[in-house]
Structure 1
């Protein structure tokens, strides 16, 4: 895989004299959401490496002291010209860090500040393993293999070969559900999105990008483990809850939230990774593939909602329209 080649190259060049000790995952919006599973993975599995996940402008204005020659900075920008992300990559190079960038644009400004770049594919017919979330995860898994001889590397490779088939089948399973979801909730103006583990980032992303940005409706993400420490007080029968139920170690957190919602809410939408077949992947790494599955599945949910509301996903009133 291309990610293996990139990491092997950096380890034999940039990090030969100065060992790699920090990984900074830097982006904005949906690209930053794509980085959450990798940050979660590194935070859980690494003994040596320290991981940061930062929005690009904060990385520039509140730069961590540790950034330097022992750092790998991974910067993702779909269009490759997001000013904050370009500035972050430029700063990383100025501080002596190694940079790997990801973009869909072969002419992107971001490439000027890249030691290596992954030009990824995009579209409904594109394998998910060629999309940013999986590519960034693959980069971080390859890093951990190089730095700490990560024992789960082979299981990850198996997961990468299986995930596209699981997603294809899952999208078939939810096709009618997406239509029902859109029909039932087209007039709702507030949604709560719950999940846990590596998928909490996608709960956040679905709220801020798919609902707030793309549909201009109010939304909030809630970590399933935090639900009973404040947020559950808003539960009633008037507001829809979307629960992204994980396969793996944090499933109990999601199940506890679901049990409560089944008692006090009649607008709960459950998207269950186990029911969609994710348990076919190796148990040692399945936690980290939940959000990869959820991203593709929830794209179908949001598309159905956009269609019935006659509010195209590309409609904006501020982003790219006015100065900000």
Structure 2
């Protein structure tokens, strides 16, 4: 497949799920020692990737958990930051300046810090109290975060079936390769049909809202310089729907959690207005070996894999490299 190195993908994803023993040990230690607040800290895409796990905690746990933007945390502070707090950071390169500043800020408050990254000698890996390192460039962080939050909530008696889930996640590398292969033809077709489309309206909800935000901002805007509107499916009928016209490209991300009906409602309305509605639905993928009760939790990882194929084909048809930047890490700001 175009721009797809299967052995590399398998190896990178395998390195993420191989962290399970260390993640289990870490989560157990945190629960045994005790803490009162959990901060999931990121910048850009890594901030968006924290939302599904705030969402998971919010719907099943009384533990105060919130996703926060690294730079805002440093600028505004948080009254809950202290020795009874834990902060989790993710960074592919381990060099994101805003996240590094947030690590240092948290540590100055006595917060215990944890980092997931692909480089053991990176600034963030060296700065956090505990670094859990996968292979370089391994993305996304969903396997690690799902294991971490699953174990943590399980130990608190707030997540049933963690051991079963964690065992099933061992199949993630092969499953995601299968998802990529299945998605590739439709990804190519979408890219061909939207070669000249310069505006996309993206919708998602539940644990896919973070991915919706991520794909809109970090891929279509940052990597393809396309204009987008992104809106949560529960908020669709409060303003943004007025931007729809009959030729508006509406891209809907549909998962399998309890918010599915909210996104179905958006799709039904959008099809009344626009002739260009595309739905990317995790239900279309078999995910053999994953129990039905866990499928919804994997939606962000599945959609990241599917849309990774779309990104590669957009790069091809638009002759616009995904690595090309005008400002990000190019100019000082």
Using structure 1 for the length normalisation, give the TM-score: 0.90
Is 2:82 aligned against 1:73? no
Residues 202 and 251 in structure 2, CA contact (< 8 A), matched pair in contact too: yes
CA distance in 1, matches of 2:113, 2:280: 36
CA distance in 1, matches of 2:263, 2:56: 19
Aligned partner of residue 225 in structure 1, secondary structure: helix
Residues 24 and 74 in structure 1, CA contact (< 8 A), matched pair in contact too: yes
Q: 5+ unaligned residues in a row in structure 2: which ranges?
A: 1-17
Residues 119 and 135 in structure 2, CA contact (< 8 A), matched pair in contact too: no
Q: Which residue of 1 aligns with 2:238?
A: 229
Aligned partner of residue 293 in structure 2, secondary structure: coil
Out of 7, 14, 39, the position equivalent to 1:24 is 39
CA distance in 2, matches of 1:224, 1:285: 22
Using structure 2 for the length normalisation, give the TM-score: 0.88
**Large movers: runs of 4+ above 6 Å:** none
CA distance in 1, matches of 2:26, 2:194: 50
Q: Which residue of 1 aligns with 2:59?
A: 44
Out of 252, 266, 281, the position equivalent to 1:257 is 266
Q: Which residue of 1 aligns with 2:309?
A: 300
Q: Which residue of 1 aligns with 2:129?
A: 115
Residues 60 and 87 in structure 1, CA contact (< 8 A), matched pair in contact too: yes
Out of 186, 189, 197, the position equivalent to 2:206 is 197
Q: Which residue of 2 aligns with 1:83?
A: 97
Residues 159 and 285 in structure 1, CA contact (< 8 A), matched pair in contact too: no
Instruction: Report deviation, 1:150.
Output: 2.8
Instruction: Report deviation, 1:323.
Output: 0.8
Q: How many pairs does the alignment contain?
A: 316
Instruction: Report deviation, 1:162.
Output: 4.4
CA distance in 1, matches of 2:213, 2:122: 27
Q: Which residue of 2 aligns with 1:244?
A: 253
Instruction: Report deviation, 1:276.
Output: 1.8
Deviations along 1:111-159, one digit per CA (max 9) or x if unpaired, are 2322211212256xx6x7xx41221221111111223363231342254
Aligned partner of residue 243 in structure 1, secondary structure: strand
Is 2:11 aligned against 1:2? no
CA distance in 2, matches of 1:46, 1:264: 39
CA distance in 2, matches of 1:199, 1:162: 21
Q: Which residue of 1 aligns with 2:15?
A: none
Relative to structure 2, which stretch is displaced further, 139-148 or 180-189?
139-148
Deviations along 1:206-250, one digit per CA (max 9) or x if unpaired, are 000110000001112111121122222222222201111112322
